Amino acid sequence: MVSVRGMRPETVDGLIAAVLAGAALAVTLAWPDERTLDAGGLALLIGMHVPLVWRRRVPGVVLLAFLVLVLPFHVLGYQHHAVVPATMLALFTYALMGRRVRAAVTCGVVLLAICAVTFAMRAGGSSGIEQIGALEAIVAAIIAVQGWRVYKARLAAITERAERAERTREEEALRRVAEERLRIARDLHDLLAHTITVVGVQAGAAAHHVAGGRPIDRDELAGTLRGIAATCRDARAEVHATLQVLRTTDTPGIPGQTAVGLDGLGDLVAAARAAGLDAVLDDGGDGEPEAAIGIVAHRIVQEALTNVIKHAGATAVEVRVERDGGELRLTVTDDGRGAGGPPGAGFGIVGMTERARSVGGTVRAGSAGGRGFVVAAVLPMTVEDVTRSGASRLP
């Protein structure tokens, strides 16, 4: 479509219609056909060009109005070739801007009507050949327009699919970033909460020992301070490993990373023992879970022990690890206040549940029967079934 910057489409189309009308009038006057142009023919000639001013806004109505005027012009025997450009413009506009099937059907009917009227009014083989040539030109123009529309529609579909795929990739990237941030937040929470709790208990015990009235046992105090130092070193190593994950995507084999898996449960129990609990680890059975499962198991036990130290008011805690076929069972039982403890006693259970669900496992927490509290987790040994079901493998 022709467009001029700063001019309305109706203005541009009005100028085009005026040029075509002037050209048609000049051709009709210079080469009259069967009938010389008179007042009625002039009215038809000018009138058929007027609707072309609104051809972009209502192409169907413009084509209908044009046909109502052009057919009598042909029937009355005025100059047929003079209005061919206007006819092609009206058909071209409708073929370009109308619906594809409707445009093709309507244009075909129009061509047949023009052909029938023309051949009915004209005689002689040469006149028929001339009309066939004109119709072939119009048909060729319509076919070219339809081919161009098909190309534009296909190009628009390809562009739309590419944009949709790009949006999907961006949404997937944002989802992965959110999952990774949640995982890192859980790791930092579990690590820092556990470490700060253990250090706080040990530091409080040391302060109580120093402030007490009895003589200071240097060996006992040194052991407590060494425990605090060891806990801080382990925490620093784990924080370093977590920060390394943020700096690189190649997480396996991070230098200085401490054991985060079933191998690290002994260190967790030792830290609980250093905090003043009678902590025991009962690890029975053979077989190692996959790394992702081991990390989840480690974090669940770590959070459970943290809760025991902070909230339970317990004197003893037992960590039991069992392997039953394709399942890994973890149980952390204490002899503290149980489910009736202070409001903060359940802190962290939501995080443990989320971790277990991320690998297709479950966590149950509640009273141990009278006094005490128990956290029981059941995890798969491998992530194969979890991956098949679409669950996230992030710990």
Q: CA-to-CA distance for 261 and 300, rounded, in angstroms? A: 10
Q: Model pTM greater than 0.95?
A: no
Q: What is the pLDDT of residue 20?
A: 93
Q: What is the residue range of 244's domain?
A: 168-388
Cα distances (Å, whole numbers) of residue 189 to 181, 194, 243, 253? 12, 8, 14, 23
Residues 144 and 155 in one domain: yes
> Per the domain annotation, does 244 fall within a domain?
yes
Q: Specify the number of domains making up the chain.
A: 2
Q: CA-to-CA distance for 328 and 36, rounded, in angstroms? A: 103
Residues 250 and 328 in one domain: yes
DSSP characters for 53-66? Answer: GGTTT-HHHHHHHH
Residues 155 and 177 in one domain: no
Q: CA-to-CA distance for 289 and 360, rounded, in angstroms? A: 13
> Per the domain annotation, does 224 fall within a domain?
yes
Q: What is the pLDDT of residue 142?
A: 64
Which of 149, 166, 183 delimits the end of a domain? 166
Q: CA-to-CA distance for 238 and 225, rounded, in angstroms? A: 20
Which of 166, 199, 233 delimits the end of a domain? 166
> Per the domain annotation, does 3 fall within a domain?
no
Domain holding 311: CATH number? 3.30.565.10
Residues 151 and 212 in one domain: no
Q: CA-to-CA distance for 330 and 296, rounded, in angstroms? A: 11
Cα distances (Å, whole numbers) of residue 368 to 67, 195, 356, 372? 92, 26, 21, 5
Which of 166, 195, 219 delimits the end of a domain? 166
> Per the domain annotation, does 2 fall within a domain?
no
Q: 230: buried, middle or exposed (CB in 10 Å: 19+, 13-18, 0-12)?
A: middle
Contact assessment for residue 289 and residue 379, using Cβ atoms and an 8 Å cutoff:
yes
Task: Name the stretches of the chain with pLDDT < 50.
Answer: 123-126, 248-258, 342-346, 387-395
Contact assessment for residue 113 and residue 79, using Cβ atoms and an 8 Å cutoff:
no
Q: What is the pLDDT of residue 257?
A: 41
Give pLDDT tens digits for 52-111: 999 888 888 888 888 888 888 877 878 878 888 888 888 778 777 766 556 655 666 666
Residues 278 and 350 in one domain: yes
> Per the domain annotation, does 345 fall within a domain?
yes
Residues 236 and 365 in one domain: yes
Residues 137 and 180 in one domain: no
Residues 92 and 202 in one domain: no
Residues 103 and 194 in one domain: no
Residues 68 and 152 in one domain: yes
